[in-house]
Structure 1
Amino acid sequence: MTQKDWTVYTVKGGITLWTKDYPGSVVKQFKLKTVVKKDIQTAYRVLKDVEHMNLWYDRVNSVKLLKKISENEGIYLLEYGLPFPFENRISTINGKLDFNARTGKLVVQTNYINHKVPSEKSNMVLINEISSSWEVTKLADGEIEIIHSGHMNPGGNIPLWLINDGVTSGPIKTMKAFIKMFDKYK
């Protein structure tokens, strides 16, 4: 991922957060990076357990597998919690995980996919402008580099300033909580 047009927003606690404009959207995209003394196999276990990402991913209230495509790919229904007075949102996501233990590289790609929504969620606002990636690389001395990037436009009547505030606060909360999960997945 090149640094072209990315602007450093903050560097805090060993985490660097960048933002930049997203083509065709008023909502910014984010990228963050950190290096931690953790095991890539544990990162794999945390990221593979998609249905429990609500325990660590900011604003994700619940995750439900809608369709298993393969051992490392599925379609999921995610529900996002938004602050009052805004209504929660849902999205249908295609998630793919690729892990090569030999090269020490783990990549997760997620994108919106048009998929049937369960009837009990069909009246909720559907997010269809959403994508993200995780890249985890094994380094020397027992460290890993973690890069997470993403973009989401929740749509509806949410003020742009509030959406873009979430772009700069949510990813850092997510990264910190993701790293804390390593202890539970050893």
Structure 2
Amino acid sequence: MNMMQRMALACGMSLLLAGAVQAEDWQLAKDEQGIKVYLSSVPGSKYKAYRGVVDIKADVQAINALQEDVQGSCAWIHACAEMRLLKGNGDEAWTYSKIEMPWPVTGRDLVLHVKTDKAADGSIVRHLQAEPKLVPEENGQIRVPKLVGEWKMTPKGPGVTEVVYQVQTEPGGSIPSWLANSFVVDAPFNTLHDLREKAEKGR
């Protein structure tokens, strides 16, 4: 690895770690159907970070397979209108997605860099970071300028996986406060609900 590559890697990890530590004061916002959603204020941002936690009766590999089906995952990700793989390289992938917004709010699109780490205990962590300049912006969409987050899947016993989904984002443009407040709860709750349904149905 040359000096430029090391610097780029260090910068990338710094951004990921910065996103993770800025949201620390987690408060429970919803606890229903075995899914817990926590919110945290983020210094310098008017948008709250969210974290959803759920136990799914499926093994890590089954849940990971659903996430690696990029196009198919749009069916269970909240407000997803379209998702496709831009490129992949080993444990790294870049995806493009469109996010539905209620009228009259303009829809968003998102270019995401996904880095997957696998641990010896069988857990998987998928790091998420927006790369808004990777592909040209599309007409009729507002590009999400910043997103940092992660998926964490940890085996809890035979056939049971704890899934944690955490995101901090700046959606770009103007978002009404009522929509922003509902989205940060609905996004993790509905995503984990539908992922669980899909994973457990496939058992």
TM-score range, shorter chain: 0.7 to 0.9
1:97-152 per-residue CA deviation (whole Å, 9 max, x = no partner) reads 2234x411011111111434357x25521111212211000112421111111122
Question: Offset of 1:89 from its aligned partner?
Answer: 1.0
* AA at the equivalent of 2:74: N
Residue 47, structure 1, aligned to residue 67, structure 2: yes
Range moving further from structure 2, 175-184 or 146-155: 175-184
Q: Which residue of 1 aligns with 2:94?
A: 75
* AA at the equivalent of 1:132: G
Q: Which residue of 1 aligns with 2:13?
A: none
Runs in 1 of length 4+ with deviation above 3 angstroms?
1-4, 183-186
Q: Is the 8 A contact 2:38 2:50 kept in 1?
A: yes
Q: Is the 8 A contact 1:46 1:185 kept in 2?
A: no
Q: Is the 8 A contact 1:45 1:185 kept in 2?
A: no
Query: TM-score, structure 1 length as denominator?
Result: 0.88
Looking at secondary structure, tell me which structure has more helix per residue.
Answer: 2
Q: Quick one: structure 1 residues 9 and 182, their matched pair in 2 at CA, closer, same or farther if it must change by over 3 Å?
A: same
Query: TM-score, structure 2 length as denominator?
Result: 0.81
- Which SS does the other structure have where 2:47 is aligned? coil
Q: Is the 8 A contact 1:67 1:75 kept in 2?
A: yes
Q: Is the 8 A contact 2:94 2:113 kept in 1?
A: yes
* AA at the equivalent of 1:124: Q
Question: Offset of 1:10 from its aligned partner?
Answer: 1.5
Q: Which residue of 1 aligns with 2:152?
A: 135
Q: What are structure 1's unaligned runs of at least 5 residues?
A: none
Q: Percent identity?
A: 23
Q: Which residue of 2 aligns with 1:104?
A: 122
- Which SS does the other structure have where 2:74 is aligned? helix
Q: Is the 8 A contact 1:51 1:62 kept in 2?
A: yes
Residue 94, structure 1, aligned to residue 94, structure 2: no
Residue 151, structure 1, aligned to residue 168, structure 2: yes
1:14-61 per-residue CA deviation (whole Å, 9 max, x = no partner) reads 111110112221000111111232111101101111232211100111
Question: Offset of 1:175 from its aligned partner?
Answer: 0.3
The size of the alignment, in residue pairs, is 183
Which residue of the other structure, out of 24, 38, 47, is the alignment partner of 1:27? Answer: 47
